[in-house]
């Protein structure tokens, strides 16, 4: 069995334990998303970071589930905000249950994650978790403010994704280092690694938005409907000739693409290679992440951090 598979099993067992400890009315809806087979990248980062700095004890999995609980909370809220019908190949929680319960399930998971963090009695862990949640909410709010607008630059897009995705991956890595008592310089280096990995992760996610739902488990071209001006869409707009561009921009601003138009744009984007070109933008951030690794101890976990770079670069779902 691969190290990754082994860790996923251990993390899933720890998540099941968290779910069982939740008040009964929350269990169905929280379990629907929490146990829906995510990649568990964030817990793996926390475990690897803690071990890289010499921590190894039974409490590590309790620490590692914290960023996953926050991640799942953001997904519950995100699918409501995006009106997304599917997630991880299943009906979204707000569709299967309803919007109020999906929001409350996210709130409950955030509270459970804070409770778990507090249980370690290390104030720096709470600071790390709260700043990660704060910056995630800020990034998402920034994104909402820009929705259906085509006036912003790639740099502003990077600001948004650093907030909504980068900060929680940063927090996942930082949490392990703080727990293990790493030096301030090492805590910053592993945090930079996580932030840049997260930016790259979201760039690849935004390229994958145009893949088939059968591959990703999420609606194809959801970003078009949601008015998110991501790199594949920026490239597509540049490619269109004048009258087509005008029509496209009008629909993007109004959010009025039909499902047929969305699937046509998605297949055009794939055929023209704009998803692959957008994926390549992630390389700069993966390189930055890799450079941060040079400042970290040379132990086995470095290999996992390096493999995570390749995983993000090449992932198909």
Residues that bind ligand FPP (CB under 6 A): 73-74, 77-78, 81-82, 84, 106, 110, 133, 136-137, 140, 164-165, 205, 218, 222
- Nearest approach, Cβ of 84 to ligand FPP (angstroms)? 6
Residue 140 interacting partner from ligand FPP, Mg ion, none (CB closer than 5 to 8 Å by kind): ligand FPP
The H-or-E segment that residue 7 falls in is helix 3-20
> In whole angstroms, what is the distance from residue 113 CA to residue 66 CA?
5
Burial label for 39, CB within 10 Å (0-12, 13-18, 19+), is: middle
> In whole angstroms, what is the distance from residue 155 CA to residue 252 CA?
20
Please, which residue, 60 or 207, has the CB nearer to ligand FPP? Answer: 207
- Nearest approach, Cβ of 82 to Mg ion (angstroms)? 4
What is the phi/psi pair of residue 311, to 5°? -60, -45
Residue 160 interacting partner from ligand FPP, Mg ion, none (CB closer than 5 to 8 Å by kind): none
Calculated CA dihedral for residues 4, 12, 109, 168, nearest 10 degrees: 0
Residue 125 interacting partner from Mg ion, ligand FPP, none (CB closer than 5 to 8 Å by kind): none
Please, which residue, 64 or 161, has the CB nearer to Mg ion? Answer: 161
Helix axes 167-180, 60-82, angle to 10 degrees: 170
- Nearest approach, Cβ of 147 to ligand FPP (angstroms)? 11
Summarize the chain as % helix, strand, coil (round to 5): 75, 0, 20
> In whole angstroms, what is the distance from residue 97 CA to residue 306 CA?
39
Tokens found for residue 257: 């693409």
- Nearest approach, Cβ of 87 to ligand FPP (angstroms)? 7
Binding site for Mg ion (CB under 5 A): 78, 82
Residue 133 interacting partner from ligand FPP, Mg ion, none (CB closer than 5 to 8 Å by kind): ligand FPP
Please, which residue, 192 or 223, has the CB nearer to Mg ion? Answer: 223
Please, which residue, 53 or 274, has the CB nearer to ligand FPP? Answer: 274
Tokens found for residue 94: 């707000």
Q: b/e for 257-281, b at 16 or more Cβ within 10 A?
A: beeebbbebbeebbeeebbeebbeb
Residue 7 interacting partner from ligand FPP, Mg ion, none (CB closer than 5 to 8 Å by kind): none
Q: Which residue is nearest to ligand FPP (CB)?
A: 140
Asked whether the beta carbons of 185 and 56 are under 8 A apart, the reply is no
Please, which residue, 78 or 261, has the CB nearer to Mg ion? Answer: 78
- Nearest approach, Cβ of 53 to ligand FPP (angstroms)? 27
| ∠ Cα 215 142 280 (to 5°) | 45
Residue 12 interacting partner from Mg ion, ligand FPP, none (CB closer than 5 to 8 Å by kind): none
Please, which residue, 59 or 100, has the CB nearer to ligand FPP? Answer: 100
What is the phi/psi pair of residue 89, to 5°? 75, 10
Residue 55 interacting partner from ligand FPP, Mg ion, none (CB closer than 5 to 8 Å by kind): none
Look-up: residue for tokens 């739902």?
A: 213
Please, which residue, 48 or 74, has the CB nearer to ligand FPP? Answer: 74
């Amino acid at each position: 069995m691969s190290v990754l598979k082994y860790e996923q099993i251990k993390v899933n067992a720890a998540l099941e334990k968290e779910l069982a400890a939740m008040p009964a009315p929350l269990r169905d809806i929280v379990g629907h998303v929490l146990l829906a087979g995510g990649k568990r990248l964030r817990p793996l980062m926390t475990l690897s970071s803690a071990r890289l700095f010499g921590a190894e004890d039974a409490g590590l999995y309790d620490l590692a589930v914290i960023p996953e609980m926050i991640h799942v909370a953001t997904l519950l809220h995100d699918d409501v905000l995006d009106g997304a019908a599917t997630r991880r190949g299943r009906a979204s929680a707000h569709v299967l249950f309803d919007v109020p319960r999906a929001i409350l399930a996210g709130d409950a998971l955030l509270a459970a994650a804070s409770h778990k963090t507090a249980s370690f009695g290390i104030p720096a862990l709470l600071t790390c978790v709260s700043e990660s949640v704060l910056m995630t909410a800020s990034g998402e709010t920034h994104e909402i403010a820009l929705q259906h607008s085509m006036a912003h630059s790639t740099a502003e897009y990077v600001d948004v994704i650093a907030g909504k995705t980068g900060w929680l991956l940063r927090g996942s890595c930082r949490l392990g280092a703080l727990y293990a008592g790493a030096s301030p310089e090492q805590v910053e280096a592993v945090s930079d690694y996580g932030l840049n990995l997260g930016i790259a992760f979201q760039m690849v996610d935004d390229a994958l938005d145009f893949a088939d739902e059968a591959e990703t488990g999420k609606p194809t071209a959801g970003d078009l409907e949601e008015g998110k001006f991501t790199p594949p869409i920026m490239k597509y707009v540049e490619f269109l000739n004048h009258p087509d561009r005008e029509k496209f921009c009008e629909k993007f601003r109004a959010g009025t693409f039909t499902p047929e138009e969305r699937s046509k744009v998605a297949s055009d984007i794939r055929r023209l290679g704009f998803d692959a070109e957008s994926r390549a933008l992630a390389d700069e951030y993966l390189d930055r992440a890799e450079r941060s690794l040079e400042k970290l101890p040379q132990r086995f976990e470095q290999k996992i951090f390096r493999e995570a770079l390749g995983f993000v670069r090449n992932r198909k779902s």
